[in-house]
Amino acid sequence: MPNAPAKDMSEGSGVDFTAFYQKHGMQWGAGDMFVVGPYRPLERFAELITVLAVGQNQDGALAVRNIILVHPPGTDNEADFEEALREEIRGTFVRWRGTALDESEERALAKRLQVTATRDMQASSVLSVIEAAPACTAIIVTQGALYRTPDADGLAPIAAESAVAMPEDFWVPHFNALCQRAIGAAGQSETYVALDAGEEWPARESHRKLLLSIDSCGVISGEVKDSPDAVLATRIDDWNAKIAAGKVGAVLSEIDALPSTLDRSKPLLRLQALEKVGYYPMVLDELRNRPELTEGLPPTIALQVASIAFASGAPDIARTLLSNTRLEGLPPERLESALLLAERTRVDDVLARCKILLTAMYPPSLALREVRINELFAKRQYSDLAHLLAESTSDGERTAAEMYGIVAEALQGETTDYAAILQAIESRVPSQKDLTKRVLGREALLNGQPAQALETILPDSENAEIEEATASSILAALERVVLTRDDKGRIGVDPDTASIAISHVLRYVAHHPADGSMRIRLVDVMSAQSMGGLGLAVLATLVLRFAREPSIPRPAPKLGNRSATSSPEDVLAFMRVALPWLSDNGPIYLGRTTLPESLLTGPPDGLIEGAKLLLAHYDPVVSATDAETFGMLIAAAISIVPHGTDKNADLTIIRIAAVRFALASHFQKARDYAEHALQLAGADPCRVRLAWLCFSDVYQRTGEIIQGFVAIACGLSADRLATSEQVWYESVLLFRITRDLRMIPFAISFLEAGRAALQNLGVLDKYEQRIETLILQARFLENGAGGQAAVEDLFAPIVANAQAVLERHDEPEPVAALLSEAIRQSTIQGGTVPSEARDVLKQLVERCSQSQSAIIAAIGAESPSADQVLTVARQIEAAMQADDTAYDVRSLVILAERLLASAEASGDPWTAVFAIELMADHAISLPTSANGPAWQSPHQIRQPGELAAELSDSTGLPLVMIGMDSRGLLLRTTAADGTLHTPVCETSETFSENRLDNWSQEFPFRYGIDMQAMNLFYTSTEGIGVSELLERAVLVMSAELQPYPANLLRLGNELAGFSRRLAVVPSLAWLESARTAQPSANTRHVAWIPTTGPTEGSATLTTVADRIRDPLAKYGVALDEGAIIPADLRGAELAIVTAHGGLIPEGRFFQVVQDDANLKASSAELADALSGVGVVILFVCSGGRMDKHPMANTTLGLVRQLLSNGCTSVVASPWPLDSRVPSYWIPIFLELWHSGSSVIDAVFDANANVRGKFSGEPRDCLAMHLYGDPLRRKIP
């Protein structure tokens, strides 16, 4: 086409097509690619069309008969796009020749130009246009970089990304394949194809070479000099190599040093690097503290950040980013990423949009197919699933299709013979037996047969190895089994079957230490709220079984023979060299960052052993600066492990460090290191057992006994081989766990293996006093209840043990804590403390670490001072997860109870409020920081009191602080109108700890079922009250008191709820956060009453629904009567739930929500469905019941779960509720709620209406209690 227009038209688009075609011409059966960027596309297409339209051949005739412009589907308005293009063509002609097209020219061009959209974004859609075009047609393909060629040879999977990726890594290979095939098709049809990428010329040299390698294809390329992509291209390969080698610090430094033109890209690049190495704490910190990472992002980048957020444990950020991202116009792989992420995060509207777009644009999407498979499975459409899988090219999927076909046919009968189906599968497709077990187990669960489900899913062999899906299915069945009990409270399977099931999951978790979600699910299933005492019994049985199996000795050097250990001076000299290098190359990834061998200042084995000793005795680790310095020392020690002989020494170092952090009250850092040990363990059984030892050791020390117990069981089952040193530490750990569970005989029995291990190591004489200390701890726990004489009998052996510890310069803290407590108890009981005991204790404390000496001094004091308690409180690091706080503060709460019993607290309201706030429940996420630490300990004694005074003034509600001290007496103080009032210590007649303990054995459950006892509410609450209470108040009580229903507090002969408007909040900190939090703009009012079910049953819930249907409708409350928990409860302003509730058989711990038929949902499931609701009203039997956690300073129950899930006010009954109450209660509440009343007033008046119009019995008219924000009002 030599006779192209002579005039340059590039002033519009910047591309000189005239010069290009004059130089290279246009050849039929060939093509050209234009990779000049996404800028001014209409101008560019118009200029290209003009050049092609007027070009002539050598005979002077038009070279191109027809022009087809092909664009992707999904253009907002096809007609507008085409008209805009034609208008641009008119302007182009004016610029070219100075005159507009006349009418005949325009008609002629209109006939020759066709604008069409491809059917989808597959390259084959473009090829079909080319193949169908008549000869001498020019086809212009726009946005060619968006098309995908999934079957092209050598293409990496669409979802594959390097640590730090560029967009061109996705589109270049596909565009190259499109160009090759398009030119091949043009050769067959004798056409010409021009492919416009819509992207800049790639920055990577390898990508440029790829695009330049296509035969019969010319290229116009365009790039911005020193563009961000060009700068990145010179570094990315090097960065990926460094990240793979653990040198992420160097990568981050280089990212920060990039030119200012890349400032917008730097945060994402940092995030990608950190996420690739799994440094999730830093990822989360960046996500939550750098708004530029989550706000105003382009769609592609927003999806990348969302994926990283989800992988890093921030699904809330992922959901927000997904919901705010425009999906139209994204490349297929990004849509696939959005689709899968939306499915995992349950963002249903985004999921639906992604499905529509991918179905239209990219039908063969593997992600779309995966979601479709999941949907068919979820809907139990096994026949359709079989047909879909049968079309696969995968042998495995076609075999699975046969299995699903068999299952689908077998399930059509009236009854299901699970054994017969499994026999059929075993004879026809035996490879699918495990999958069939899971499918049938799920069917049994959905049919309300959890016991059958569990028996079906369990492997045939007790020792069989199971995969993740089977472990998950077993847990799903167990979660339902424990909710389904007979009339005697027994679960549907025998204890042996439950034990086998737990054993299978435990072994899976043991060999997959990085699978934290499965471990947490297992711990939850075995918790008190799920299984009651059965879970702990099963776990103890398994641990004892594993522990009785002797470990096979693994050779290791004896402790006493490690003469090569570097001296402290040599270790410090090494640290002076290593620390600057680590600082320059930070952040450090433990276990992956290796110090250069050239920096070693001595033999690595000696330095490692010396570093272990340094870390084990490092002091102080009190302040944040101390902890940071200690962390660098840990990193230095671990960084030289690859140079040493023992490649597993990193896990030992991490355990030493984590324990040191735990002893210094840096509990969160201890947990972080323990979790990191599991991530580093890998698949080597030796490393796995060491990692579990670390994890269990830390979690026992933080008080999370079930987690520690599960972890030690995992370690013992992971590997039979162990060194004597391992056996020693494991034996002591087993002692500590069983001691804490008061299983004293078992605890002492574990020490025999520990004694033998020390003997094998040749150090029994050196460390025998450690065993004696542990035995004395056990004896003290047994004898402590025996009174003064029993304690005094232990003084001599404890002092002797302490003297042995001092003589051998051994760890003083364990025996110092024991001796300190013995002295305190003897003093309180009026006994005689030998002077020698006090002298020895003084020497021990002088040798203790700084953090431990403060704790031991406070614990040993008869009444610790507020300053002593504050010192201990300040040492406690804020927990990352609110639940952990309840364990971290256990020792602090004991000190606070003792402080509350002192004259200092009874005479000073600031001290009293300080102590009570420490004893309150801080294990509930604060409404304004659901993703951050739940609570940070006060830094000043007056801080909680000042907060109480300020809240009483700003809310207009008095705050009554109530705590039970170490003597079992009640101390209360009131903050009203900004003033703290003098504390009041209630007499033992007004409040008695013994009366409260006796009450908790039967109540509050008995209130709902005992209709015969006279004056039950009054006789049972005698001696559980206060002498005075303001008429309208918020109660802030110690966690131990919070399970007691506030309406039942005795005021003389009266129950408080009759005359007092009361609300209970977890803590002052929680109330402040709730009052500060901005309420959601969601104004939906919803209700759920499951009146329908798969089988007919009692009509109780149907009757309730009928009675309150009219007031619900009157006030716009949408009622759902389905048999499953609705998905749209989440985030509503008001949610009302009516259902049956049940406790575990021990008569404690709310466990299950039920309908009149087969529905059985756990409290956690309901709480999850109600996440973020403003006000939750539960007409659920015992839904408002709270029980003291048996091992932590918090409560258990549905109320707590709801508050932890972001609900701000919960109204519920602590005991079984008469089904007639809602019809008298709800109309008044809704009327007042809609008139603008606060919750505290609406609840009180609704209770009063029940009393006036239905029943004056406290079980009916005082049932509904308010927990949480008392002043929540309807959004106007």
Tell me, what DSSP letter sits at residue 1178? Answer: E
Count CB neighbours of 598 within 10 A.
6
1135 neighbors 1173 (Cβ within 8 angstroms): yes
Q: Is the peptide bond preceding residue 2 cis, with omega within 30 degrees of 0?
A: no
615 neighbors 607 (Cβ within 8 angstroms): no
Tell me, what DSSP letter sits at residue 110? Answer: H
> Which homologous superfamily does the CATH classification assign to the domain defined by 17-224?
P-loop containing nucleotide triphosphate hydrolases (3.40.50.300)
Per-residue pLDDT of 474-500, as tens digits, reads 999 998 988 887 766 677 788 889 899
Position 429: which residue type? Answer: V
886 neighbors 921 (Cβ within 8 angstroms): yes
Position 106: which residue type? Answer: E
Domain boundaries of the chain, sorted by first residue: 17-224, 452-549, 558-704+714-721, 894-1060, 1079-1268
User: Residue 365 has what pLDDT?
Assistant: 86
Comparing CA positions, the residue from 915, 933, 799 lying closest to residue 864 is 915
User: Residue 585 has what pLDDT?
Assistant: 81
Q: Sort strands 1150-1154 and 1175-1180 into parallel, antiparallel or unpaired.
A: unpaired
SS3 90: helix
Write the DSSP string, 1235-1272: TT--HHHHHHHHHHHHHHHT---HHHHS--EEEE-TT-
The whole-angstrom distance between residue 980's C-alpha and the CA centroid of its chain comes to: 40
Comparing CA positions, the residue from 415, 362, 372, 423 lying closest to residue 397 is 372
Residue 480 CA: distances (Å) to CA of 444, 495, 521, 1041, 1116 = 11, 15, 13, 31, 35
Q: Report how far residue 331's alpha carbon sits from residue 312's, in angstroms, rounded to the nearest whole number.
A: 24
Q: Is the peptide bond preceding residue 587 cis, with omega within 30 degrees of 0?
A: yes
Interhelix angle 236-244/248-256, rounded to 10 degrees, is: 150
Comparing CA positions, the residue from 433, 493, 494 lying closest to residue 467 is 433
SS3 906: helix
Count CB neighbours of 840 within 10 A.
22
Q: Is 1185 buried (19+), middle (13-18) or exposed (0-12) by CB count in 10 A?
A: buried
964 neighbors 898 (Cβ within 8 angstroms): no
Q: Reading across the β-sheet that carries 217-221, which strands appear in turn?
A: 113-117, 66-71, 137-141, 192-196, 30-35, 217-221
Write the DSSP string, 912-941: HHHHHHHHS---S--TT-TTS-S----SST
Residue 269 CA: distances (Å) to CA of 240, 279, 286, 852 = 11, 14, 12, 42
Residue 1106 CA: distances (Å) to CA of 341, 984, 1117, 1119, 1189 = 41, 49, 14, 11, 38
Q: Report how far residue 546's alpha carbon sits from residue 544's, in angstroms, rounded to the nearest whole number.
A: 5
Q: Which residues contact 1058 (CB under 8 A, 6 or more apart)?
A: 1251, 1262
The strand ranges marked E within 266-363 are none
User: Residue 157 has what pLDDT?
Assistant: 41
Q: Is 221 buried (19+), middle (13-18) or exposed (0-12) by CB count in 10 A?
A: middle
SS3 394: coil
Q: Report how far residue 1185's alpha carbon sits from residue 1045's, in angstroms, rounded to the nearest whole number.
A: 8
Residue 772 CA: distances (Å) to CA of 505, 659, 730, 768, 784 = 36, 21, 17, 7, 18
User: Residue 156 has what pLDDT?
Assistant: 42
Residue 653 CA: distances (Å) to CA of 512, 559, 579, 616, 674 = 21, 15, 17, 9, 11
166 neighbors 203 (Cβ within 8 angstroms): yes
Residue written as token pair 């444990």: 313
Query: 39-68: buried (b, 16+ CB within 10 Å) or exposed (e) per residue?
Result: ebbbbbbbbbbbbbbbbeeeeeebbbebbb
Per the DSSP assignment, residues forming a β-bridge with 116 are: 70
Instruction: Based on DSSP, count helices (H) and strands (E) in the chain, helices before strands.
Output: 57, 26
Whether this prediction's pTM lies above 0.75 is answered by yes
Q: Report how far residue 1257's alpha carbon sits from residue 1250's, in angstroms, rounded to the nearest whole number.
A: 9
Comparing CA positions, the residue from 640, 628, 639, 636 lying closest to residue 603 is 640
Longest dimension (CA), the chain: 124
User: Residue 1125 has what pLDDT?
Assistant: 94
Q: Report how far residue 122's alpha carbon sits from residue 182's, in angstroms, rounded to the nearest whole number.
A: 12
Q: Report how far residue 279's alpha carbon sits from residue 1234's, in angstroms, rounded to the nearest whole number.
A: 49
Tokens found for residue 551: 């470990």
Tokens found for residue 303: 């999806």
Q: Report how far residue 704's alpha carbon sits from residue 688's, in angstroms, rounded to the nearest whole number.
A: 20
Judge whether 17-224 and 1079-1268 match in fold: yes
> What CATH class has 1079-1268?
alpha beta
Position 1121: which residue type? Answer: E
The strand ranges marked E within 469-612 are 552-553
Low-confidence ranges of the chain (pLDDT < 70): 1-13, 75-76, 151-165, 224-230, 233, 246, 487-489, 557-563, 784-789, 929-934, 1093-1098
Per the DSSP assignment, residues forming a β-bridge with 1050 are: 1025, 1055
Write the DSSP string, 187-242: HHHT-EEEEE-SSPPPSSHHHHHHHHT-TTEEEEE---TT-HHHHHHTTHHHHHHH
The strand ranges marked E within 302-412 are none
User: Residue 154 has what pLDDT?
Assistant: 43
1104 neighbors 1110 (Cβ within 8 angstroms): no
Comparing CA positions, the residue from 761, 729, 747 lying closest to residue 652 is 729
Per the DSSP assignment, residues forming a β-bridge with 1265 are: 1212
The whole-angstrom distance between residue 359's C-alpha and the CA centroid of its chain comes to: 32
Q: Count CA within 13 A, CB hemisphere, residue 164.
A: 28
